[in-house]
Structure 1
Amino acid sequence: LSDMLRGKQGRFRLNLLGKRVDYSGRSVVVVGPKLKLYECGLPKEMAVELFKPFIIQKLQDRKTVKTVKSAKRFLDKRDAVV
């Protein structure tokens, strides 16, 4: 059993690690002097990419944009008003 799980060819590494999934990101955890102990900082670029579908929906709800295509263009410009 342990041989099946161990190493690069083991079930754990082959099936569970290294797979791409939606709504996930990878970064380095560092200390933030302005963050509280229960808070987590996220780079703005990563936040926009991870939450893009939700941001697009909010932009449409607020009548900032009319279509999904125009919302994507709006986000690609990276306006400060996101």
Structure 2
Amino acid sequence: MVKRLYKNGDNYSCTDDRHEILNLYASQCAYCKHFHADDYYCSAYPDGIPDELLRGTQKHNSPIKGQVCDTVYERDKKWEYSDNGR
């Protein structure tokens, strides 16, 4: 993962290109209840989700070395299909 200087409190800034990396079709992140789309982080990765997870080349169904807690992918209920009682 590219070091995101702006998240580390440094006086440096860099272009946040994670919107280019996130693959909505392959990644679990966008559909996870722990995902914060405003800054591409979650409780497991408060300093930024690794690019492999954002791309969808790696799944997050079990804890991964380097994450800060045991949080894993949980589908957000807002993405569940509802037929509205039909």
Q: TM > 0.5 between the two?
A: no
Normalising by the smaller structure, the TM-score range is under 0.3
Q: Which has the larger radius of gyration?
A: 1
Q: What is the TM-score with the length of structure 1 in the denominator? A: 0.25
More helix by percentage:
1
Q: What is the TM-score with the length of structure 2 in the denominator? A: 0.24
Higher relative contact order (CA 8 A, sep 6+): 2
